[in-house]
A and B are shown apart, each in its own frame.
Chain A
Amino acid sequence: MIGERRITGMTLALLLAGCSLFRGAPQEGPAPAPAPRAPIETSAAERFVQQQRLRAEQSEADARWAEAAWSWEVLSALRPDDAAVAARLDAVRLRISRLRAQHAAEALAAEQRRDFDAARRAWLQVLALDPHDETAAPALRELELARSVRSRLGRFVRVPAPSRSVRAPARSNPPATPALEARPEAGNAADRRQ
C-alpha cells in the first residue's frame, strides 16, 4: 500500500517536473493555473485570417499578383480545408501563369530586336509575378553583363584625365580616386540610366 502511494507520488512529481521542464522557466511556489489558451488562439487565428484576406484582396486590386498569391497561400496553410481560399489561390496562380507567359514572350521578342531595356523591363515583370522563375534571373544577369562589357563600366565615371600615363603614387600620399573629386555631384545619375 505504502509502495503504491510512493509510486503514485513519484509519478505525479514526474508529471509536474515534465510540465515545468517544458515551460523552461524555473518557478517558485505553487504554479498558477494555466490560462485557457484555446480562445486566445482562436481569436488570434481569426484576426490573422481577416488581415490576410484583406491583404490578399488589396494585392489583387493593385495587381500585385505575387503578393496576392502569397497571402492566399498563407491562408491556405491556416485553413487547408477551406475551398473558397483554395479557389482564390488557384485563380491567382492561373493569372500569374498567363501574365508570366505574356511577359516572357515580350522579353524574348525585345531581345531579338536588340531592345535590351525593354527586355530587361519585361524580365523584371516576370520575376515580379514569380520571384522563383528560373528563366528571368539568368536572362537579366546576361543582359547586365553584356551591358557592362559594352559600356566598359567603370571607365566613364572618370573625368578624362589630363595625363593617362601610369605612375606609381608616393607611398605617403595615395591618389584616393582623385578623378571623382572633380565631379562629386555625379550622384546616382548612372543609376537613373539603368
Chain B
Amino acid sequence: MRLHALRWWRQARLRARGARTGADALVFPAGPGAIASASPAAGAVLIAAVLGLSACTTIHPPVQAPIHAPIHPPAQAPAGPPGTSAEDRSSTPTEWPAIAGADGRVLGRGARVLVYLPAPGDRLDAIAERFLGSADEGWQIAEANDIGSVQAGQALAVPLRPANPLGVRADALQLVPILCYHRVGGANSRMSVGVSAFEQQMAWLVDNGYRVIRLADLGEFIAGRKPLPRRSVVLTFDDGYASFHRYAYPVLQKYGLPATVFVYTDFVGARDALTWKQLAELQRSGLVDIQSHARSHRNLVDAPAGETAERYLAYLDGELRGSREQIERRLPSSSVRHLAYPFGDADARVAERARMQGYELGATVVPGGNAFYAAPMMLRRTMIFGHLDLEAFKARLQFEQPLTRP
C-alpha cells in the first residue's frame, strides 16, 4: 500500500511539474493593436489616439534611459534558480494592455520584476490586473512591498513571477489552516458555534488581513501551481446542517467569503439537514462549494467485523463513489473532487481508494495548518468548537511555523 501511495505521489508530482511549466507562460489580454483592425473608423480613432499619445509623451522628456524604457510585458519566466544572472534582461518589446485611466509609469524592468510608479488613485487590484493578468493577485504586489495599499508617489516592485510560490522564508514556513465547523446556531452543543460568535470570527478574519480562499485554491498551492497570500484560511462545514443555510450563509454573503460544505448524502433532506433545493441554491451562489462527506457517515477506516477484503473495498467504493455521483447528479453544475472523511478518520488504504474514486483532496481533522508539501489526501483541519472565545479562535489560526536556522 505504501508503495502504491508513493507511486501515486510521484505521478501527481510529475503532473504538477507539467502544469507548472505551462503556468509559467503568463497570458495577457490583447493589446491595443487588436482593436486597430476592427474597422476603418476604429482605425482612424486609433491613429488619432496614437498621434495624441505621441503629443502627450513629448511633454514628458525622459529623465534617464531605464525610467522611460518601453513598457514591456514580462518575458517568459525563467525556470532556473536565481543564480542565473542573464535572466534579468532580454524580453520581447510588446505593449502592455492599455487600461482606461491607468496613468502610472514603468520605471524599470527585469525578467522577474518591474518597478512601477502608480498614478494618483491607482489601486493594487488595478495594477495587478494590468501586469499580472488578474486583479486577485494584488496581494502579491502588497507582500513584495510590505504595504497594505498604494501610497501616492511611492514606487512599487511588481513581481512578474511569484517571488515565493511555496511560502518558505528564512524564518518561517507558510501554513494554510482549514477551519472545520459543524452547526452554526440553533443548538446548545460544543459542535455548534453561536451565530454572533461566528459573525465575530468572520469579521475578525476580514479585519485582520486574512484571505478566505477556496479549498480548490489550497489544492493548487500544494500542487505548486498557485502561491497564496500569507494569511490564507479555508472555511469548511461538515455534515450539511440546515443551520448553515439559515445562519452561516448570510454571514458569508455579507463578507463575500467562500466556503465548502461537506454533505453526507444519506443525511440530505433529513429533519435538521439541508435539502437538495437549498444545496442547489448555495451552489448557484458561487460562494459555496458542495463536496462529499461520504454517503452514510460510517467510519471508512473500520472494516465491518468478518468482512472480506474484497467486500470492504466494495463498501468503500460505494461510500465514496455513491456520494460523489449523487451530488453531481442532483447538482449538475458541481464537480465533486474533495472529501472530508467521516470522523476525520483515514488511513493510507482509505486515502488511496478515495483517490482512485476521483477525489483530489481529502480532509482529516488532524489540527493545524497545511504546508505546501501537505499530502493532498491527508489535509489537516482545525475544529472550531462552540465554547471557543475569540482569543481561542485566533490561537487556532496557525498560518505559519517558525523555522529554526542553523
Binding site for B on A (CB under 8 A): 11, 14-25, 34, 36-38, 40-45, 47-48, 52, 62-67, 69-70, 73-74, 76-81, 86, 89-90, 93-94, 96-97, 100, 103, 121, 124-125, 127-133, 137-138, 140-146, 148-149, 152-158, 164-169, 171-172, 174-181, 184, 186-191, 194
A-B pairs with beta carbons under 8 Å apart, 6 shown: A149-B6, A153-B366, A171-B270, A171-B271, A184-B385, A190-B366
Q: Are A121 and B403 in contact (CB under 8 A)?
A: yes
In the complex, the answer to whether B157 meets A52 with C-beta atoms within 8 Å is yes
How far is the CB of B10 from the nearest CB of chain A, in Å?
8
Q: B34 contacts the other chain (Cβ, under 8 Å)? A: no
A96 to chain B, nearest CB (A): 6
A40-B117, A190-B367, A194-B401 known; 11 new pairs, CB 8 Å cut-off, are A19-B55, A25-B101, A42-B63, A89-B85, A93-B82, A137-B372, A140-B371, A158-B343, A165-B305, A176-B182, A190-B380
Whether B52 and A18, one on each chain, are in contact in the complex, defined by CB atoms closer than 8 angstroms, is: yes
- Given A124-B173, A154-B366, A188-B396, check contact A24 B103 (CB 8 Å): yes
Contact present for A177 and B238 (CB under 8 Å): yes
Report the nearest B residue to A37, measured CB to CB: B60
Knowing A15-B55, A145-B375, A172-B270 touch, does A78 contact B107 (C-beta < 8 A)?
A: yes
Chain B's nearest CB lies how many Å from the CB of A1?
A: 24
Does B53 sit within 8 A of A, measured CB to CB? yes
Q: How far is the CA of A57 from the CA of B110 in the complex (A)?
A: 20
CA gap between A67 and B83 in the complex, in Å: 13
A131 to B372, CA, bound (A): 12
Q: Chain A's interface: helix, strand, loop or mixed, by majority?
A: helix
B302 touches which of A22, A34, A164, A188 (Cβ 8 Å)? A164
A127 to B366: give the CA distance in the assembly, Å. Answer: 26
CA A145 to CA B6, docked complex, whole Å: 7
Count of interface residues, chain B, beta-carbon cutoff 8 Å? 119
**Residue from B180, B190, B348 within 8 A of A152 (CB atoms):** B348
Within 8 A of A (CB), among B360-406: 364-369, 371-375, 378, 380, 382-383, 385, 387, 395-396, 398, 401, 403-406
B220 contacts the other chain (CB 8 A)? no
B305 touches A80 (CB 8 A): no
Q: Are B302 and A166 in contact (CB under 8 A)?
A: yes
CA distance A189 to B383 in the complex (A): 13
The answer on a CB contact under 8 Å between A77 and B114 is yes
CA distance A180 to B385 in the complex (A): 10
B309 at the interface (CB under 8 A from A): no
CB-CB nearest 10 A-B residue pairs: A18-B52, A191-B368, A77-B110, A24-B101, A78-B108, A48-B155, A154-B364, A127-B168, A24-B100, A140-B373
Cβ of B9: which chain A residues have Cβ within 8 Å of it? 141-142, 145
List CB contacts (< 8 Å) of B202-244 with chain A.
224, 238-239
Q: A141-B373, A189-B367 are in contact. Are A74 and B403 (CB under 8 A)?
A: no
> Does B109 have its Cβ within 8 Å of any Cβ on chain A?
yes
Tell me if B107 and A48 are in contact (CB < 8 A).
yes
Distance between Cα atoms of A100 and B56 in the complex (Å):
49
Mark interface residues in B106-134 (1 if CB within 8 Å of A CB, else 0): 01111011110100000000000000000
Q: Which residues of B contact A146 (CB under 8 A)?
A: 2, 6
| B50 adjacent to A18 (CB under 8 Å) | yes
Residues of A within 8 A of B264 (CB): 174
**In-complex Cβ contact of B82 among A73, A168, A174 (8 A):** A73
Q: Are A132 and B82 in contact (CB under 8 A)?
A: yes
Asked whether B344 lies within 8 Å of A77 as measured between CB atoms, the reply is no
- B38-87 interface (Cβ within 8 A of A): 45, 47-53, 55-56, 59-63, 65-67, 79-83, 85
Task: Please give, as numbers and ranges, the residues of chain A lying within 8 Å of B371 by CB-CB distance.
Answer: 140, 144, 194
- The CA-CA distance from A158 to B300 in the complex, in Å, is 13
Q: Tell me if B281 counts as interface (CB < 8 A to partner A).
A: no
Complexed CA–CA distance, A43 and B153 (Å): 9
